[in-house]
Every structure is written in structure tokens, then in C-alpha cells.
Amino acid sequence: MKDMMSYKGYYGSVHYSDEDRVFHGKIEFIRSLISYEGRDVKSLRKAFEDAVDDYLELCAEEGKKPEKPFKGSFNVRTGSDLHRKAALFAKAKGTNLNNVVAEALEKYLSA
């Protein structure tokens, strides 16, 4: 994936500030704001991994469950016409809207 790093199931963005001459990023796909920076690729990678490890340790210390980037559910805003068409399609096929959307995404992303 371009401009992203992954570690322990978390994804981090990669950006560069020419003004500050520093690489920086944040852990993506979670609500908590966790950022990191480094002067080069190696130090950025280490800062990202340290940020993930620190986050997981802090959650453990506080007895709270860490956020996961992808829970398996998300809201989709389709507009009422597309929503109606998809719901009627699901009903006609004897399935539900979740299955229709999951199958459509699977087909779209495998193309």
C-alpha cells in the first residue's frame, strides 16, 4: 500500500514536511489520535512501531480494550434510491442487505 506502513494490525500514514525536514504520520482507521515522526525512513518506522506498542501498553495498563482498525461494520450513505433498489434486490434474492453489500464489495475489489 502506498504511503502506509503496517504493524500488529495497525496502519500508519507516511508524510514529509519539507519545511520541517521531517517525516511524520499517524495511526489510521482508529478514533484515537496517535502521531509519530522521524528524520529518515528508519527512524519513522521505529517511531510508528513504538507508537503502536505504547498505545497497546497504555490500554493494557488502563484495562481498556484497544481500538481495532477494522471492526467489520461501517455505515454506507447511498441515497434513498440506491438504498431502496438494494433492499428490494436482497428481498427478491432471499438474503439481507448486509450480504448484498458484502458480495458487491467483494466483486468490485477483486476486479
pTM of full prediction above 0.85: no
**Residue 2 near residue 17, CB atoms below 8 Å:** no
Q: Is the pLDDT of residue 57 over 80?
A: yes
The reported pLDDT for the residue numbered 96 is 96
Rounded to an integer, what distance in angstroms lies between the CA atom of residue 101 and that of residue 90? 9
Q: Which tens digit of pLDDT belongs to each residue from 4-47?
A: 999 999 999 999 999 999 999 999 999 999 999 999 999 999 99
Domain map (residue ranges) of the chain: 4-62, 80-110
The dihedral built from the CA positions of residue 33, 70, 13 and 76, taken in this order, carries a sign that is negative
Q: What is the grid cell recorded at 76? A: 454506507
The closest of 11, 107, 25 to 1, measured between CA atoms, is: 11
Q: Any residues with CB less than 8 A from the CB of 2 and at least 6 apart, and which?
A: none
